[in-house]
Amino acid sequence: MNIDLTRRGFLRLAGAGVAATSLGAMGFGEAEAAEAAHVRAFKLTTTTETRNTCTYCSVACGIIMYSKGDVKAGETAEIMHIEGDADHPTNRGTLCPKGAALKDFVKAPTRLTRPRYRAAGATEFQDVTWDEALDKIARAMKDDRDANLVQVSEAGVPVNRWTTTGFLAASATTNETAWLTYKAVRSLGIVGFDNQARV
Amino acid sequence: MTNAWTDIKNTDLVIVMGGNAAEAHPCGFKWVTEAKATRGAKLIVVDPRYTRTASVSDYYAPIRPGSDIAFLMGVIRWCIENDKVQWEYVRNFTNAALLVKDGFGWSDGLFSGYDEEKRDYDKADWDYQIGDDGYAKLDMTLQDPRCVWNLLKAHVDVYTPEFVENVCGTPKDRYLQICEMIGECSAPERVMTSMYALGWTQHSKGAQNIRGMAMLQLILGNIGMRGGGMNALRGHSNIQGLTDLGLMSNLIPGYLNIPTEREPDWQTYMSTREFKPLRPGQTSYWQNYSKFMVSFMKAMWGDAATAENDWAYHYLPKLDVPTYDVLRMFELMKQGQVNLYFCQGFNPLMAFPNRAKLTEALSKLKLLVVMDPLETETAHFWENHGQYNDVDSASIQTEVLELPTTCFAEDEGALVNSGRWLQWHWPGGSPPGEAKNDTWIMANLFQKLRKLYQDEGGVFPEPILNLSWNYADPLDPKPEELAKEMNGRALRDIEDPANPGTTLVAAGKQVKNFTQLQDDGSTMCGCWIFSGCWNEDGNNMARRDNSDPGDAGMFLNWSYSWPVNRRILYNRASADMQGKPWDPDRKLIEWTGEKWEGYDVPDIGVTSKPGEVMPFIMNQEGTSRLFTRGMMRDGPFPTHMEPFESPIANVLNPKMRGNPVSRVFVDDAEQFATSEEFPFVATSYRLTEHFHYWTKHNKVNASLQPEFFVEISQELAAEKGITGGSRVRVWGKRGQVWAKAVVTKRIKPMQCDGKTVHVVGIPLHWGFMGAAKKGWGPNSLTPFVGDANVETPEFKAFLVNIEPAAEEPVA
């Protein structure tokens, strides 16, 4: 579906063309070779490019992420740089002061890296495994639902409503996450269900 | 948005009111700059503060927070009085001509049917007169005193320029200049666009603010036009998608409804959703409701949803109250009636009103589960951070689990932008440490819970055990599998009604779009409005052809827009009764004599004749609604209401406080402030350099705007003895904060109803976690009350006091 020559591709070719032809035309062919021999390669040429969308506001600016390593190839990948996508019709390569610093959001020192548990009355978190965390949650949910699911209204209508557990969904997760979340939450009868759109 | 970001370049006049796009949506705002530069478009900004959007405007006027309805009704009055009306559009494409029941009326700022005790209206008379033929009566000459147009004229009569100046504090000459500029856009070849955001939604009458502008845009004939429309600038990258998918108490994906307990069976539920047309020959597309609903139930419960069991109707919960929205849930939590609470990428301790109440409520939970990429204040609500979070950890018995999730850079799937484009994105980085995708977390949690029900039995396990879960790896569903479920597929061969005996969609194939969905159980579809996003053509959300035929700004082959890849909603209304574009230079679609075609996907049956089938195909009338029947709780027309905390009384009815039908919990009512005690109006807002409570975790943005501040006028500073850069205390009925004072000319005192009104601006980006200096948000101060229709909290107008404070000791 991509058009043959993207705007970025065009800029790259045009830039290279101007350099080669003008230098060549002025008789600097050898100088160019000498220059190329000692100039360090553009850092991003060895990275993997991935298309994504800015995670902040709903303008949804197109971005390109540059990483060491290729996730698609099953490798561990580290994002090195993020910039605006010049082919994107909305932002045409530009980013705002928030989007321009996206890499530092991805690498924020306060990113969470492992599940943690805070006991009643405690002053600190302690590390737990995913299994421990999810087992604890599943058990708490089942016990609460079994104890508190309102199955029938006063008028005798089946209502299957669970009001003692609530779920707040996000605002930057994908549609796919949202749909899976919807399925799970609704199948349990949870009605205290909301997302950031409420505020 | 009815239109798209890229369409803003087609406008003649932008009005930014109830938003601040240059700061909150900078790259989208560039399309305003484009329109100004390339076609000489003008920009009007109406805002309590002289924002960065205002700084590049052609005309600016101040307005008192919470008085927008008076302003908008005033503009409508001015347009009618000065014949600035797109008459052919109004007569044919709105319900101006329809006749309203005799019992409907208003007085003292209230509509007929008000019950003070119930804080509710009896809306039976807020409807059309129905003739013997079963259709709404009408008078196309607009002479009948009961027609919507004449009722509207009478309704807005009170909103004179003097009334507007008195209530809004907008100087009369500035207001009239804006009326003149707006009025020009009633010409068929001039178009205005409205760009608004939370400056309109976060009020106890937010939905009516937006209706006010929508009505004005209809009167000007600007809905459905290139460069026109009602453009809600959504706040977060996929808040549109999560709304579309119905992750709300009372919704089912695609704006279907969770049943109430007054709908004991499927027949009763469907009986109020037949959507019979109210005028002959009209589309009333919601007549297809049952197809979308049955397909949804099949997506949820597959073979367990059958015609015999009403498509598993009782697997769905039934509501006893309109919604269990966040305000109700935190009220219940505070009362000790909620045990478990999940926050998936959401930080309610900073995002909801009355933080003291939130902390008290969270402290009564048994278990709080937070899934987030970052350390949020909510996950750490029990942790003492001195004055910034002054809690006694030992006394808080809530257990907390903090689960690390991936962020956008490590995740795959689609987001829906403000213009309804579903854009696919790919992961480029590995998750840090043990962080997991939200889909993995939800799947693993659900499978563990399901196993407990399988092993132990339990209460009503059927909807859990029978939930459709056909994923290659049940513990790790893939985005492609989930997207295909949302698009929908045929469960058995579907016959083509146009060619009996032939197959329209073969069993197992993806449906092309929602027009192929059925209500006999032969199709499944998770979200009908998204249908078409991943059909047999592949992943249409990943399309990247940025060509734009006619330079129209539509980009039909870039990503996928709901519904059916349409870029401008109601685009049929861009052409006249003969199907010719109102403005040939702004053509969107056109009637060829046989069908509709043009730059956008027609928002009308492609062979529906102009003059017969009206453009607003979702509505039973076929037209848009200047009068909205009984569909909104607080009135079929917007009427002026003061904020719950206001410096002046409602001039229409001094006894009325706030929105007379907003839900108010008892404890919260006791915490509403009066202007005697708290004389200044406060309002919350965003800054260019920050996004909510996220970017303060990022050193770059934390350096750009490191410290919490409040903004006040030079006059208020002088009155209170506050100097720029000094420390101040701001307090209200529910809490207090300390901040640096920014003393500015960008805020000016206003004169309203004989009083001087000062505004205090409070940005919302600081908390006690992350890389920036610790601070507070406006939610330490704001009232716990929401919009009467949708319960969005009133963050944009409340009362505070302010005084100089001692400087912080240097550590």
> B756 to each of B252, B387, B716, B741, how far by Cα in Å?
47, 33, 10, 20
Report the helix count and the strand count for chain B, using DSSP H and E. 22, 33
Report the helix count and the strand count for chain A, using DSSP H and E. 5, 8
The set of residues, in sequence order, having a beta carbon less than 8 Å from that of B389 and lying 6+ positions away, is B377, B380, B381, B383, B768
What one-character-per-residue DSSP string does B296-311 give?
HHHHHHGGG--TTTGG
Match 């004991």 to its residue by tokens.
Answer: B264
**Cα radius of gyration (chain B):** 27
Taking 90 as the threshold, does the pLDDT of residue A24 lie above it?
no
Interface of B with A in 450-509 (CB under 8 A): 452-453, 456, 458-460, 463-464, 467-468, 477, 479, 482-483, 485-486
* Amino acid at the residue A113: T
> Quick check: pTM over 0.80?
yes
Residue in B closest to A114 by C-alpha: B434
Q: Do A112 and B403 lie within an 8 Å CB cutoff?
A: yes
Q: Do A69 and B430 lie within an 8 Å CB cutoff?
A: yes
Reported as type and span, the H/E element at residue B589 is strand B589-591
Q: Are strands B798-804 and B709-713 parallel, antiparallel or unpaired?
A: unpaired
SS3 category, B778: helix
Interface of A with B in 113-152 (CB under 8 A): 113-123, 125, 128, 130, 133-142, 144-146, 148-149, 151
* Pairwise pLDDT comparison (A36 vs B379), residue with the higher score: B379
The pLDDT score that the predictor gives to residue A29 is: 67
B394 close to A (CB below 8 A) = yes
Q: What residues does B60 pair with on adjacent strands?
A: B45
Q: How many CB atoms lie within 10 A of CB A48?
A: 20
**Spatial separation of the C-alpha atoms in residues B20 and B10, rounded to whole Å:** 20
Taking 70 as the threshold, does the pLDDT of residue A163 lie above it?
yes
Q: pLDDT tens for residues B199-244?
A: 999 999 999 999 999 999 999 999 999 999 999 999 999 999 999 9
Averaged pLDDT, A67-83 = 96
**Spatial separation of the C-alpha atoms in residues B549 and B567, rounded to whole Å:** 13
- B704, B679, B706: which is closest to B689 by C-alpha? B704
Q: pLDDT tens for residues B638-691?
A: 999 999 999 999 999 999 999 999 999 999 999 999 999 999 999 999 999 999
Collect all residues of chain B within an 8 Å Cβ-Cβ radius of residue A112: 372-375, 402-405, 432-433, 435
Peptide bond into A158 cis (omega under 30): no
Contact B202, B794 (CB under 8 A): yes
**Spatial separation of the C-alpha atoms in residues B178 and B633, rounded to whole Å:** 30
Contact B170, B63 (CB under 8 A): yes
Q: Which residues of B81-98 are buried (b: 16+ CB within 10 A; e: fewer)?
A: eeebbbeebbbbbbbbbb
Q: pLDDT tens for residues B9-19?
A: 999 999 999 99
- Residues of chain B predicted below pLDDT 70: 810-811
SS3 category, A121: coil
- Distance (Å) from the alpha carbon of B121 to chain A's nearest alpha carbon: 23
The set of residues, in sequence order, having a beta carbon less than 8 Å from that of B122 and lying 6+ positions away, is B113, B115
Contact B20, B686 (CB under 8 A): yes
Best B237, B421, B448, B528 member to test A by mutation, with max A CBs in 10 Å, is: B237
- Counting one residue from chain A and one from chain B, the pairs whose CB atoms sit within 8 A come to 496
Averaged pLDDT, A106-114 = 98
B186: Cα within 13 Å, side-chain hemisphere = 21
Q: Do A170 and B346 lie within an 8 Å CB cutoff?
A: yes
**Spatial separation of the C-alpha atoms in residues B211 and B795, rounded to whole Å:** 19
How far the first Cα of chain B sits from its last, in Å, is 49
Taking 90 as the threshold, does the pLDDT of residue A42 lie above it?
no
- Ranking A20-34, A164-178, B262-276, B759-773 by mean pLDDT, the lowest is A20-34
SS3 category, B730: strand
